């Protein structure tokens, strides 16, 4: 911030010099463009008559009004704001020759109704009448000029000119009688300067509108809106708007001053908020500035509906308050140390004071030695120039701050990258060390897990093995039966189950003891296992002397054949135990089905067990085989 302040102060001398030179130049030019005071006015006996509540007059009756009813007045006439009809009378001197004529020039374009009648010295009826004013179309004017201009007929004698005027604004009548050649010289140079002035304003407005797009800075947009509306209001005050932009719209001509004036103040308030850091110092003042823009925006809409005389009075009151507020705000922020506010106050001082003076002059509160329109041009030109320089300087330093911030950020980022690289090196070193240790521990863990898996597999195998016979136990049988049941249901293949029971095993236990019984069970298991050849077939000991054989994808005949073969082989393979021969036989129940649901595998087991009991009841050493569907 300090760097910005020092840099901004370098522009002090330049701005002040530009301000002074611009003010002097515009005052010099416009003063020289005013009508030369050395020329004679070419008219005399200027008087006026207010119609008021009396009987309405016309150009025939007004000429008969007594002389003592007329009040003398001097030009430029300024009677303030009044909506009554006013009549003005004057005597114009004779023309120098019959080849030349005079032009009656009213140097104020904002008059609603303006009628002119020319009388000869001996006549009571006008020899020439004209109509002009904003209530008539521009094309109906006697001479297509930006301000009311009337040709006076050539006459060797003096002529009386009577003007009838009625307007909703100020009763102003700056009268000048010109010779045609003088008027052409005057208007050519004046129009050139004003054309250049309006061209510069519009060019600045358009260029700043483009800068809004390229810089994304809203200040340029508000400044552009302000400058363009200022140009339009000055063009309206000088008559150029009605002459060239909306010549056929008398309605808009009556509203143009209110619309453009309020739009100018609205954009000025928005520009002030964007240029000055008001909110950083006072939120209330920032809210007031924002409220001004809203009020002006609403006044634009109201101005299109409500009468001109009411809105112009409201605007003049609003303008007075805005002038005081903005100038006070600029001075206050300058005292707070804001350098931009100092230049801002100087710039706005020119326009706001000139605008206020012109407004007071229009309502006849003060009298100015210079035309109020010319005063506005001077103030607008100087203020626009200084604001453009301030905006450019402010944006330049904002860009410098941004560049400095970017360089600082880049330096910080560079330092951060160096620190990051160092950190990454340390991190990589520790990561490599950690990865080595992790790999080492992972390898040890994999070995441990593999050993544990082998132990678990062995434990699982041992948990599924009957410790006496070495055949699978009941736990394994239940799991395997469910699994093969699901496969049968999925593949729609038959599942067979053989349930075998050693005949008279209790008698063997009683005669040979439990050791003899265990020997018999081991012998039976060995015989059974020798007769089971398919890897999918599974022999399980499911009870004391009871065995089960699961035969996947085997029909009833195949299962019966296996069961019968086992029974026959066991019968022919007695056990030699402690010098004695123990004859062994077995009964079997066989059942087969294609599993249809989850519970049917258990039903198959129960039905095979029923077939086993039927075999025992049939005399033992027998195989009973049936389809499960026979039970269902």
Q: Which residues of 8-20 are buried (b: 16+ CB within 10 A; e: fewer)?
A: beebeeebeeebe
Report which of 252, 235, 266 is spatially closest to residue 380, judged by C-alpha positions. 235
Report which of 260, 49, 318, 63 is spatially closest to residue 171, judged by C-alpha positions. 49
Distance CA(605)–CA(599), nearest Å, equals 10
Instruction: Tell me, letter by letter, the H, E, C secondary structure of 468-495.
Output: CCCCECHHHHHHHHHHHHHHHHHHCCCE
| 59 and 51 Cβ atoms separated by less than 8 Å | no
Question: Which residues make Cβ contacts (< 8 Å) with residue 15, sequence separation at least 6?
Answer: 343, 346, 386, 389, 390
The neighbour count for residue 307, using CB atoms within 10 Å, is: 11
In this structure, what are the phi and psi dihedrals at residue 471, rounded to the nearest 5 degrees?
Answer: -80, 165
Active-site position among 338, 383, 484, 545: 545
- Angle of helix 308-335 versus helix 339-362 axis, rounded to 10: 150
Q: How far is CA 214 from CA 207, 220, 267, in A?
A: 11, 10, 20
| 175 and 106 Cβ atoms separated by less than 8 Å | yes
Cα dihedral sign, 412-413-415-416:
positive
Question: Which residues make Cβ contacts (< 8 Å) with residue 21, sequence separation at least 6?
Answer: none
Report which of 115, 110, 114, 116 is spatially closest to residue 152, judged by C-alpha positions. 116
| 230 and 208 Cβ atoms separated by less than 8 Å | no
In this structure, what are the phi and psi dihedrals at residue 615, rounded to the nearest 5 degrees?
Answer: -65, -40
Is 545 a known active-site residue?
yes
Catalytic residues: 545
């Amino acid at each position: 911030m300090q760097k910005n302040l020092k840099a901004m102060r370098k522009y002090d001398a330049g701005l002040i010099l530009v301000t002074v030179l611009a003010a002097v130049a515009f005052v010099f030019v416009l003063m020289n463009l005013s009508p030369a005071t050395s020329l004679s006015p070419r008219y005399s006996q200027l008087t006026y008559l207010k119609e008021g509540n009396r009987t309405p007059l016309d150009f025939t009756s007004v000429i008969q009004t007594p002389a003592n009813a007329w009040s003398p007045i001097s030009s430029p006439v300024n009677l303030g704001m009044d909506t009554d009809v006013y009549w003005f009378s004057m005597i114009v001197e004779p023309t120098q020759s019959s080849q030349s004529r005079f032009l009656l020039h009213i140097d104020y374009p904002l008059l609603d109704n303006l009628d002119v009648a020319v009388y000869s010295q001996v006549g009571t009826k006008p020899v020439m009448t004209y109509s002009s004013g904003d209530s008539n179309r521009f094309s109906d004017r006697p001479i297509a000029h930006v301000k009311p201009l009337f040709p006076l007929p050539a006459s060797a004698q003096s002529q009386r000119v009577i003007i009838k005027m009625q307007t909703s604004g100020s009763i102003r009548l700056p009268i000048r009688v010109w010779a045609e050649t003088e008027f052409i010289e005057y208007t050519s140079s004046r129009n050139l300067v004003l054309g250049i002035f309006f061209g510069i304003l519009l060019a600045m407005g358009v260029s700043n509108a483009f800068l809004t797009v390229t810089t994304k800075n809203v200040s340029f947009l508000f400044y552009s809106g302000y400058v363009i509306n200022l140009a339009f209001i000055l063009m309206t005050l000088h008559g150029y708007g009605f002459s060239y932009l909306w010549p056929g719209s008398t309605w808009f001509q009556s509203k143009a001053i209110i619309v453009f004036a309020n739009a100018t103040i609205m954009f000025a308030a928005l520009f002030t908020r964007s240029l000055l850091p008001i909110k950083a110092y006072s939120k209330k003042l920032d809210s007031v500035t924002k409220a001004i823009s809203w009020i002006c925006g609403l006044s634009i809409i109201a101005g299109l509906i409500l009468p001109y005389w009411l809105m112009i009075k409201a605007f003049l009151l609003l303008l007075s308050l805005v002038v005081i507020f903005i100038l006070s705000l600029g001075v206050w922020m300058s005292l707070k140390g804001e350098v931009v506010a100092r230049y801002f106050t100087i710039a706005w001082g020119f326009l706001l004071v000139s605008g206020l003076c012109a407004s007071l002059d229009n309502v006849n509160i003060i009298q100015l030695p210079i035309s109020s329109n010319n005063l506005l041009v001077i103030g607008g030109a100087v203020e626009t120039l200084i604001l453009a320089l301030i905006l450019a300087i402010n944006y330049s330093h904002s860009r410098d701050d941004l560049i400095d911030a970017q360089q600082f950020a880049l330096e910080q980022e560079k330092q951060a990258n160096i620190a990051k690289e160092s950190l990454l090196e340390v991190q990589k070193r520790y990561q490599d060390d950690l990865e080595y240790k992790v790999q080492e521990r992972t390898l040890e863990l994999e070995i441990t897990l593999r050993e544990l898996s082998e132990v678990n597999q062995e434990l699982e195998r041992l948990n599924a093995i009957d410790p006496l016979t070495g055949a699978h136990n009941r736990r394994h049988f239940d799991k395997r039966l469910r699994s093969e049941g699901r496969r049968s249901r999925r593949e729609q293949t038959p599942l067979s189950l053989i349930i075998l029971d050693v005949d008279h095993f209790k008698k063997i236990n009683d005669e040979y003891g439990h050791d003899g019984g265990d020997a018999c069970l081991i012998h039976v298991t060995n015989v059974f296992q020798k007769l089971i050849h398919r890897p999918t077939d599974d022999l399980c000991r499911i009870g004391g002397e009871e065995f089960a054989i699961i035969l996947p994808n085997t029909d009833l005949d195949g299962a019966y054949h296996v069961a019968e073969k086992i029974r026959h082989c066991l019968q022919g393979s007695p056990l030699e135990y402690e010098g004695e021969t123990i004859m062994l036989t077995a009964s079997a129940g066989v059942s087969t089905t294609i599993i249809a649901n989850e519970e049917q595998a258990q039903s198959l087991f129960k039905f095979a067990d029923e077939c086993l009991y039927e075999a025992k009841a049939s005399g033992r050493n027998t195989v009973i085989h049936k389809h499960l569907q026979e039970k269902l």
